[in-house]
Amino acid sequence: MLFKKIGRFEFDNNSNFIARVLVLSLPAALVFALLGALNLLTPYWIIMSYIMVLIANMFFLLPISTELQQLKKYINELAKGEINEDFNVELSEQEAKEIAEAVNSVHKFWINRTDALESQVMSDTAVLDTLPDPILMIDRSGNILGANLSARQFLGNDITNKNIENVFSANNFINAVNRVLKKESEAENLIFYSSIDPKQKVYAHIKQLPWFSKGRTVAVISLYDLSKAVKIEKMQSDFVANASHELRTPLSVISGFIETLQTSAKDDEQAREYFLKIMADQAEFMSELIENLLSLSRIELSQDEKPTEMINLSDVVDEVVQAMSLKAENKNMQIISDVPEELPLINADHQQIRQLIQNLVDNAIKYGLSPSDITISIKEVEKIPPSKSFQVSDGKALSVSVNNKGTKISREDLMRLTERFYRMQEHKDLNIKGTGLGLSIAKQIILRHHGNLTVNSTNYNGTTFTVYLPIEIKS
Ligand SMILES: Nc1ncnc2c1ncn2[C@@H]1O[C@H](COP(=O)(O)OP(=O)(O)OP(=O)(O)O)[C@@H](O)[C@H]1O
Ligand SMILES: [Mg+2]
């Protein structure tokens, strides 16, 4: 056992061991020297006794020294991260055993701490990745230590470890970051233009981390792409401009005729009747326009509210057919409905679905061939066709198709039919009245129900608008 330990002992690094043996043997050496001085021991026995004491001490110290050296080597490797397992060499010395056990429990404690920290970091990263806006974490020198998913998508996957000055070129942004890093300011907010797309306006919020956060991250930058908001603002102002323009046209017609009636046509009875009729038409158009604008804004307001009713689509179709058949007959058209007897109820807003189908039937009457038939059919389908721009509901659905005969709608027109105020030139030329809002209203209703709309148009079959509505809305 002892020889095995001597074998394991590294004599290369044993100056401490020899010093310890000599120090431990010093009292014996003094005793032997005293005995020699008193002539009680001969020099031969003094030397022999001292050698025996040295050997005894060596044998006494060697095991503990060997085991301590092994432990030292193990702890050094552990500190360098070269190994990751417990110390499991069998030890004979009690002190060495106790040290090994203590080291093992410290090791276990740190492994648990590291695991907990790693899972904390992973869950923090997952949370940051779910945020829609880019977030960057930077160190004292402006190096990017971390970037969430949105930042990596915005600035590139290799963004980490780059310096902020090599990623952004806007001087006002770099200066603001430096002010925060130099602690001249606690937080900075500014707008700058992105170096990736000079038209892209970005809002930045740069914030120093509180002093008690001990990590390398000293500041966090959050970015917000303003171009989306600018686009929405532009759409809103375009909408207001369009709406005012649409209202101004009939209004100017009415005021023009009022002036005519007050002056040149004052005493002309026939002209008066004619002008009054036009004025009444224009007033009716204005009230229709206002009604549609209000309707659109009401539907947009309800966009996030899930409909609560369960409705029978065939009842809704019957209501629409009843309401619209007179208008169809006036154009020598007939509305035919092809509806299965048994239909599942659907989760939908009754009033909105009625408005949606009515708008489609109204278009079929206005733009369909006279005389011809309009067909409304309902079918049960396995799933709603997907859309690139919005989310449709999963699962079974009902489809409502409204078909009218007539000339084919061109591809360019088809793409723009649901745009607000969009009307096909040929219908404007034919002087067919319309606000250009009916299909935009239909689209908003479909979006609220997580459904979809398809349009098919050929010269032979005419035009078919098909609305898909989920039986159960799953968002
Ligand atoms: N069934 C159809 N056949 C041919 N063209 C159509 C059909 N439905 C719609 N369109 C075209 O699409 C345009 C937009 O339709 P939409 O229903 O939004 O507005 P509108 O009918 O002009 O006005 P509103 O319905 O508000 O009175 C119409 O002006 C027309 O040019
Ligand atoms: Mg219409």
Q: What is the pLDDT of residue 1?
A: 46
Contact between residue 470 and residue 397 where contact means Cβ atoms under 8 Å apart: yes
Top mean pLDDT of 20-24, 236-240, 263-267, 276-280 is at 276-280
Q: What is the pLDDT of residue 187?
A: 95
Top mean pLDDT of 14-28, 75-89, 215-229, 387-401 is at 387-401
Closest ligand 1 atom, CA of 427? 31
Question: What mean pLDDT comes out for the span 15-22?
Answer: 82
Judged by its nearest atom, the ligand closest to the C-alpha of residue 409 is: 1
Judged by its nearest atom, the ligand closest to the C-alpha of residue 437 is: 1
Rg of the chain over all Cα atoms, to the nearest angstrom: 44
Q: Looking up tokens 């947009």, which residue turns up?
A: 300
List the single range of 55-59, 139-143, 451-455 with lowest mean pLDDT. 55-59
C-alpha separations of 428 from 282, 303, 408 in Å: 15, 31, 16
Question: What mean pLDDT comes out for the span 32-60?
Answer: 89
List the single range of 74-83, 376-385, 406-415 with lowest mean pLDDT. 74-83
Question: What mean pLDDT comes out for the span 46-65?
Answer: 87
Query: 187-193 and 346-347 as β-strands: parallel, antiparallel, unpaired?
Result: unpaired
Q: What is the pLDDT of residue 2?
A: 46
Top mean pLDDT of 184-198, 226-240, 426-440 is at 426-440
Smallest CA-to-CA distance from 406 within 426, 421, 377, 420 is with 426
Phi, psi of 376 (to 5 degrees): -110, 125
Question: What mean pLDDT comes out for the span 320-331?
Answer: 97
Q: How far is the CA of 362 from the centre of ligand 2 (A)?
A: 6
Judged by its nearest atom, the ligand closest to the C-alpha of residue 455 is: 1
C-alpha separations of 292 from 239, 298, 339, 405, 436 in Å: 13, 10, 29, 26, 9
Contact between residue 233 and residue 240 where contact means Cβ atoms under 8 Å apart: no
Question: What mean pLDDT comes out for the span 110-116?
Answer: 84
Q: How far is the CA of 364 from the centre of ligand 2 (A)?
A: 8
pLDDT interval class at 213 (50, 70, 90)? low
Smallest CA-to-CA distance from 333 within 308, 364, 359 is with 364
Cα 353 from Cα 361, distance rounded (Å): 12
Q: How far is the CA of 349 from the centre of ligand 2 (A)?
A: 20
pLDDT interval class at 3 (50, 70, 90)? very low
CATH node for 306-475: 3.30.565.10
Q: Determine if the peptide bond prior to 371 is cis (ω within 30°).
A: yes
Domain boundaries, the chain: 2-109, 127-226, 306-475
More confident residue, 230 or 322: 322
Q: State the fold for domain 127-226.
A: Beta-Lactamase (3.30.450)
Protein residue with least CA distance to atom 10, ligand 1: 363
Question: What mean pLDDT comes out for the span 301-310?
Answer: 92
Question: What mean pLDDT comes out for the span 409-413?
Answer: 97
pLDDT interval class at 276 (50, 70, 90)? very high
Question: What mean pLDDT comes out for the span 102-106?
Answer: 87
Contact between residue 144 and residue 159 where contact means Cβ atoms under 8 Å apart: yes
Closest ligand 1 atom, CA of 363? 8
| Longest CA–CA separation in the chain, Å | 163
Structure tokens at 42: 């001969």
Residue 113 has pLDDT above 90, yes or no: no
Judged by its nearest atom, the ligand closest to the C-alpha of residue 443 is: 1
Average pLDDT over the chain, rounded to an integer: 90
Residue 358 has pLDDT above 80, yes or no: yes
Query: 372-381 and 333-338 as β-strands: parallel, antiparallel, unpaired?
Result: parallel
Contact between residue 290 and residue 332 where contact means Cβ atoms under 8 Å apart: no
> Given ligand 1 and candidates 292, 331, 358, 363, which is best to mutate, with the most ligand atoms within 8 Å of its CB?
363
Judged by its nearest atom, the ligand closest to the C-alpha of residue 435 is: 1
Question: What mean pLDDT comes out for the span 182-202?
Answer: 86
Protein residue with least CA distance to atom 7, ligand 1: 363
pLDDT interval class at 452 (50, 70, 90)? very high
Cα 158 from Cα 253, distance rounded (Å): 62
Q: What is the pLDDT of residue 211?
A: 66
Residues 6+ apart with CB under 8 A from 270: none
List the single range of 40-44, 211-215, 278-282, 338-342 with lowest mean pLDDT. 211-215
Q: How far is the CA of 274 from the centre of ligand 1 (A)?
A: 28
Protein residue with least CA distance to atom 4, ligand 1: 367
Cα 244 from Cα 255, distance rounded (Å): 16
Smallest CA-to-CA distance from 74 within 82, 93, 101, 2 is with 82
Protein residue with least CA distance to atom 8, ligand 1: 363
Residues 6+ apart with CB under 8 A from 434: 366, 423, 427
Q: How far is the CA of 89 from the centre of ligand 2 (A)?
A: 87
**How large a percentage of the chain has pLDDT more than 90?**
61
More confident residue, 119 or 454: 454
Q: What is the pLDDT of residue 321?
A: 97
Residue 12 has pLDDT above 50, yes or no: no
Question: What mean pLDDT comes out for the span 191-217?
Answer: 80
pLDDT interval class at 14 (50, 70, 90)? low
CB-count exposure of residue 319 (10 Å: 0-12, 13-18, 19+): middle
Contact between residue 358 and residue 324 where contact means Cβ atoms under 8 Å apart: yes
Residue 158 has pLDDT above 80, yes or no: yes
Structure tokens at 399: 């489809």
Query: What is the 8-class DSSP label of residue 81?
Result: T
Top mean pLDDT of 46-60, 63-77, 228-242 is at 46-60
Residues near ligand 2 ion, CB 5 Å cutoff? 363, 438
User: E strands, 226-280, where?
Assistant: none
Q: What is the pLDDT of residue 17?
A: 81
> Given ligand 1 and candidates 331, 333, 359, 367, which is best to mutate, with the most ligand atoms within 8 Å of its CB?
367
Phi, psi of 282 (to 5 degrees): -65, -40
Contact between residue 448 and residue 347 where contact means Cβ atoms under 8 Å apart: no
- In this structure, the residues whose C-beta lies within 6 A of any atom of ligand 1 are 292, 359, 363-364, 366-367, 404, 406, 409, 417, 422-424, 427, 434-440, 463
Protein residue with least CA distance to atom 31, ligand 1: 424
